[in-house]
Chains A and B, each alone.
Chain A
Amino acid sequence: MNHSIRLTINGEERRIDLDDPRVTLLDLLRERLDLTGTKKGCDRGQCGACTVLLDGRRVNSCLALAVSLDGSSVTTIEGLATNGELHPVQAAFIAHDGFQCGYCTPGQIMSAVGLIAEAQAGGDPERVREGMSGNLCRCGAYAGITEAVIEAGARMAEASGRQEKAA
């Protein structure tokens, strides 16, 4: 049986026909929509490589059935940069060497964007490490990742403070 769903992906509304309800959000993105920035690591919710934002919240796309997400909004790593300018978290990962091989990086960055939006960790390295524990990095780039998340969080808070002042 076919299932027709609507998803907003990186700001673009799409109508998607699914011929199989078993398709996960991860497989939909990678195999059917050619958005291969989102990575498949364990495919079981243990590594975080497939992290995307679903209605603004970070989730493991490997553990979400696409058919169930009808009407949702999804942001992937491809949707972060605006007008060719990197998102502050992307820029901070480069500045702080927050990766080596890069495979976990899209998931790390999406998770960091979600963590900063949750506003629970602030600039406390221990809280950032705890908040990022759902993203494994086999190269062990954790020190740079933690620094990048803290710096990006601070810059984004600064920028939104400036905006509030201007308003």
Chain B
Amino acid sequence: MNRFEYVRPGTLAEAVAAAAAPGAAFLAGGTNLLDLMKGGIARPDRLVDLTHLPGLDAVERLPDGSTRIGALVRNADLAHDPDFAARYPAIAEALLSGASGQLRNAATAAGNVLQRTRCRYFYDTASACNKREPGSGCDALGGENRAHAVLGWSEHCIATHPSDFCVPLAALGAVVELEGPAGRREVPLAEFHHLPGSTPERETARGPGEMIVALRLPPEAARFAAHSRYLKVRERISYAFAVVSAAAALTLADDGRIGEARLALGGVALKPWRSTEAEAALAGQAPDRAAFERAAEIALADARPSGDNAYKIPLARRIVVRALQLAAAGTPERLPALPASPFAPAPGGVLHV
């Protein structure tokens, strides 16, 4: 780990000013940053410790029905907040399907959004990586790339964003609140993470010194509480990143048809991949297999392998279909013992697709 200057600001303004210097990084839970620093992937000159700042760790319901998640709310606290989990069950399920009990107790909401890719070539400082070292190339192309992107990738970078939390956040239209040297602004989460294009080192919409102060769910996000699920395929049953995941949320009208649908995928791109086209195709349809398969086709229409990962495309289609089936069957009263697992017993029997 490189040497760095440790700064502990007492106010938001101090934090933003301290972080505006080149080479500065924010420290919150540290679960991703310290790992990256130990590996020499992140080498900040200055750490701006946010963990002693007051007022950033609340989950608040606002008068208009939206919910504001403070940047420093720990993943476990958010997932186990009874009111939050009842209103946004797919978010709670996604959080509990990620990492381990220990990590969820430390990792924060904003840190989760800002976590870096788990591409092995990004982590291996002996490999070429345009994200870590712009212009050096991408050793993942033509390398071990079973885990890499099938949507939105470029020849400069085929990495994926590893967050579970961000997938239902994107589906539910979450907004990122940023505070920076020029004041406060908001960016929709679905536009917060950049696709790689020719500048994979530019990862998010966050500017120098800007910090995420909160994530906000709009009032309509709570409409889906009765029919929301997150489903995640992993290479082991627990404590693993998604190979492919999906968040599905529905409202069902009195006649049993789908009112509104929300759908986003994880593990397939460098951002949580919301498909508003698939959502539009589901509206007004009967919640049956045929409609879900059409939605899956639409969501993956532009997918193409970036290497040895063609398998992810049919896998993602199946996960979309099953997530939609599970959402249509209804949010379970209690989360399954294995949150988001395709191996959890399904209501009404096995759901082979």
A residues contacting B by CB (< 8 A) are 1, 3, 20-22, 24, 43-45, 48, 51, 54, 57-60, 62-65, 67-68, 70, 111, 114-115, 118, 120, 124, 126-127, 129-135
Contacts and interface: CB of A to CB of B under 8 A. Distances in A.
B35 A114 contact: no
Contact of B101 (A43, A63, A67, A118): A118
A58 B105 contact: yes
A22 B3 contact: yes
A24 B102 CA distance: 16
A13 B134 CA distance: 47
16 contacts: A21-B6, A22-B4, A45-B102, A58-B105, A62-B34, A63-B30, A63-B103, A64-B30, A65-B27, A68-B49, A68-B51, A115-B101, A118-B76, A124-B337, A133-B100, A134-B101
A63 B32 CA distance: 8
A73 B15 CA distance: 25
A124 B337 CA distance: 8
A60 B6 contact: no
A111 B31 contact: no
Q: What are the 9 tightest A-B residue pairs by CB atom distance, in nearest-first order?
A: A134-B100, A133-B238, A21-B6, A126-B337, A133-B239, A57-B105, A127-B337, A63-B34, A134-B102
Interface of B: 1, 3-6, 8, 27, 30-31, 34-35, 38-39, 47, 49, 51-52, 76, 80, 99-103, 105-106, 237-239, 337-339
Contacts, number: 96
A132 B14 CA distance: 39
Contact of B34 (A3, A65, A131): A65
Contact of A111 (B80, B101, B106): B101
Contacts of B31: 45, 60, 63
B96 to A, nearest CB: 9
